[in-house]
Chain A
């Protein structure tokens, strides 16, 4: 088990390295630099700026300086917000994104699994159809469409919940963003769960358990649930990634001060340093989450370890 975990850990290194390298060179390929503004700066100021951001050195050397700094945890300066460097801006936004993401993640898992189990148990009966319809809506309607509709209904018409912003950080400000963020994942998880549970319930060992006279609920909880959870667990890694990209939209729409909104603003303002730093940060986060999920998966399913 430990060996598997170590192996997995080592395999993330090339992923991260390629990600950082690709991002760095894509950005340097960009025509024009970040300081080619409307106003022509005197040559000496340009030179100073270039020297400050190491832009005067050969590109390979810049690359090694950047990678060295990233390894030390320094993501470099922001080109637009000069008062804060990239790491500081990320630190400001991170708590909001983490709260939003983790609440949505937990909600998606809990409701998704519950709905999937219901769907499997009431297969092809009314509760299953209703759930199927809700799942389909969650899958088909993109989050940037669900968000304004919910804002319109619950924020403006019914006035139950605030339309956006973080306010004093109370739960009421979190409800709509979390629901929008979690909805597609509730749909996917319950779909996976339903399919897997139906398959497991048809398998021979469940029939054996039933024939031994165990109660239906005991068969489901003790025998069927764990194997049926496997596809859901393997989905959680990618789901963490989708949650992050979802938070780009959700934070922008609801005006939440998280990393996603910083990223979008930086990208729209061509703040190269910030975009690069944020992408790298996201990658590390996603790769780490994937790693954790894989290890949990191996722990649940011994076959994975021995492959």
Chain B
């Protein structure tokens, strides 16, 4: 085939093309590097620090950041090492984001794929349901859930994830509508494969591209939501901590102990910035429309 077409270079798959475009995107690559560092620091860093996030250092209360005392980020009013707390908070924020994103993907993909594949009345009813929930301010629901069921971290994961799946469901449904017209689906149907098996064995694997892109765009949103809830006092509770909780505490004493605000704030902003750039980069790289010749 290549002999007849005389291509100047070897053929590249869509994925290879996309990865090349992603690699050419400097912002996204730098962000990926910084985010990897942050993740490593959050998960491995605590083992290299002589302090942990909850025990006070009785010799050092409210100490500003310094190299000599060993508290590189200083300590808080209770003598707890801020570096350890910030790393721990970053870890909590990352875990919440990961779990909530997975919950959102599972619900959104199943919901959207089923609605799109079966179509008809079922589709209409399911998408109408999504529309209705979409119209509601979900943060209020999350707060309501936290009030009713107590401030439980696991519930927080589930609640955020369970409310972030709506856009995912819409995107997946749209993709499914076009995939189900393809020949291999017809072949599967002709071979007598059960409808649900077709959905999960043949359609869902083909959705990976858009799902990954949208998930990458969802993660920073969830991190921000978690920090927002923790800031208001509905999220992660003492002695556990998250970046939102740390910022809330730091904000109260910023006049006298400013480092308690600046360090967690910098971590949060850098993390969000990196995630935003990576998400945008992925979208640009995989969105083939932008690269079509006009």
Contact = CB atoms under 8 A, between A and B. Distances in A.
Do A and B associate with each other?
Answer: yes
Interface of A: 12, 14-15, 18-19, 22-23, 26-27, 29-31, 136, 139-142, 144-145, 147-148, 152, 156, 241, 244-245, 248-249, 252-253, 263-264, 267-268, 270, 272, 275-276, 279, 282-283, 286-287, 290
Per DSSP, chain B at the interface is: helix
A290 B147 CA distance: 27
Contacts of B147: 30, 267, 270, 272, 275
Interface string B201-242: 000000000000000000000001001100111100000000
B136 interface: yes
B17 to A, nearest CB: 24
Contacts of B254: 148, 152
Contacts of A19: 136
B268 A287 contact: no
Contacts of A140: 269, 272-273, 276
Given A144-B231, A148-B251, A15 B132 contact: yes
11 contacts: A12-B135, A26-B144, A27-B148, A144-B247, A148-B254, A152-B255, A248-B139, A248-B232, A264-B232, A276-B144, A283-B137
- Range of interface residues on B (Cβ < 8 Å): 35 or more
Nearest to A291: B135
B148 A30 contact: yes
A252 B232 contact: yes
Interface string B262-289: 0001001100110010000000000000
A277 to B, nearest CB: 12
B261 interface: yes
A188 to B, nearest CB: 13
Given A264-B232, A267-B234, A286-B136, 20 more contacts: A15-B136, A22-B141, A27-B144, A27-B148, A141-B269, A142-B224, A144-B227, A144-B248, A145-B247, A148-B250, A152-B258, A241-B137, A244-B137, A248-B139, A252-B232, A264-B233, A279-B144, A283-B136, A283-B140, A290-B135
A286 B272 contact: no
B244 interface: yes
Interface in B168-189: none
Contacts of B145: 26
B220 to A, nearest CB: 8
Nearest to B135: A15
Nearest to B272: A140
B137 A286 contact: yes
A73 to B, nearest CB: 20
Contacts of B269: 140-141, 145
A145 B255 contact: no
B148 A144 contact: no
A27 B145 CA distance: 8
B102 interface: no
Contacts of A14: 132
B140 A279 contact: yes
A139 B276 contact: yes
Chain A to chain B: the 5 pairs with minimum beta-carbon distance, closest first: A148-B251, A30-B148, A144-B231, A245-B139, A267-B147
B149 interface: yes
A142 to B, nearest CB: 5
Given A15-B132, A148-B261, A23 B144 contact: yes
A263 B272 CA distance: 28
Contacts of B228: 142, 144, 249
A113 B34 CA distance: 33
B126 interface: no
B143 interface: yes
A193 to B, nearest CB: 18
Contacts of B268: 142, 145
A139 B272 CA distance: 9
Contacts of A279: 140-141, 144
Contacts of A139: 276
Interface string B7-36: 000000000000000000000000000000
A152 B255 CA distance: 7
A245 B265 contact: no
B183 to A, nearest CB: 31
A144 B244 contact: yes
A290 B154 CA distance: 32
B149 to A, nearest CB: 7
Interface string B66-77: 000000000000
Contacts of A287: 135
Contacts of A253: 251
B276 to A, nearest CB: 6
Nearest to A287: B135
A29 B155 CA distance: 15
A159 B231 CA distance: 26
Contacts of A29: 148
Nearest to B140: A279
B226 to A, nearest CB: 11
Contacts of B251: 144, 147-148, 253
Nearest to B137: A241
Contacts of B244: 144
